[in-house]
Amino acid sequence: MNPTLWQVDAFSTRPFEGNPAAVCLLATPAPDEWMQAMAREMNLSETAFVTVGESGGTFPLRWFTPSAEVALCGHATLASGWVLYESGVVSATTPIGFDTRSGRLTVRKESSGWIVMDFPATPVSENADALLAPLQAALRSEQLTIVGRHDDILVRVPSPQVLRALQPEWDRLARIEARGIIVTAPPDREDCDFLSRFFGPAVGVNEDPVTGSAHCTLGPYWSTELGRTELVGFQASTRGGFVRVGVQGNRVELAGPVSPVLRGIVLAPPVMFQG
């Protein structure tokens, strides 16, 4: 059978906002080369591949940018959960388990229709102050404070105005050794607790519209700063989107809506890379 392919906008209640993700449902695992080629063809920040043929109650899930496989992606996991519910692979009342490079991730559907994901928290732990000068040059701003790093580097700027005005030099930013750069600031709107932007040119995504996995780092940071465990972040990209965050020890619950855009059949199946 040819795989089915969906494109949906994660963390958005309306099409053409939030973060677009492709979700490919596979009957059996596909070759890495084919998945990377499909992700390059889709040319979105992430394309997710879910093997549904022999799930046994859980589903293998992998994520690819146009240029690389990544270990964790929030918005494409949100999209994958929504697609499994919407397509009837999983009933609306049944939690979904995904087996990934970041371990077992669970997803459930709220009565509101929002998808809730249980992710590992990734608070910053390593000092990255040595990268201040390169980051100032790459982000073209001296108003930066490096909070620390995990897979990503977390940077704070003093105001929403500074955050929104950033115009990075992508080639310079791509040379910094990190999956991505998370930049955050206090909010300038009443419907959220913090703002962020995410830059990932090193993995083929200059600016990601709404980055669920970044909130695994942002959640613990702002939870400590604000003294609360339930927060709402707004990613201030051109498309924009909200992420509800619940910090629970070494786990983070991320939630958001999904808006579908298209559904189709892949006419260039994985068999072309087999044998």
92 and 147 within one domain: no
CA distance 167 to 131: 18
Domain identity same for 151 and 226: yes
Are both 152 and 199 inside the same structural domain?
A: yes
Q: Do 18 and 44 contact (CB within 8 A), yes or no?
A: no
Same domain for 236 and 208, yes or no, is: yes
**CATH code assigned at 26:** 3.10.310.10
Residue 73: domain span: 4-120+257-273
Residues 47-100: tens digit of each pLDDT = 999 999 866 679 999 999 999 999 989 999 999 999 999 999 999 999 999 999
Q: pLDDT class for 271, splitting at 50, 70, 90?
A: confident
- Do 262 and 222 belong together in one domain? no
Report the amino acid identity of residue 39. Answer: A
Task: State whether 266 and 209 are in the same domain.
Answer: no
Catalytic (active-site) positions: 46
Please indicate, yes or no, whether residues 240 and 135 belong to a single structural domain of this protein: yes
176 and 79 in a single domain? The answer is no
Q: 104 to each of 26, 37, 81, 97, 253, how far by Cα in Å?
A: 19, 26, 14, 7, 14
pLDDT, tens only, 151-206? 899 999 999 999 999 999 999 999 999 999 999 999 999 999 999 999 999 988 99
Split into its structural domains, the chain has a count of: 2
Query: Tens digit of pLDDT for each residue in 88-137?
Result: 999 999 999 999 999 999 999 999 999 999 999 999 988 999 999 999 99
Question: Is the pTM of the predicted complex or chain greater than 0.95?
Answer: no
Q: Are residues 116 and 141 in the same domain?
A: no
Are residues 213 and 229 part of one domain? yes
Whether residue 261 sits in one domain with residue 227:
no
Four-CA torsion 119, 184, 150, 29, nearest 10 degrees: 40
Of residues 275 and 229, the one with the higher pLDDT is: 229
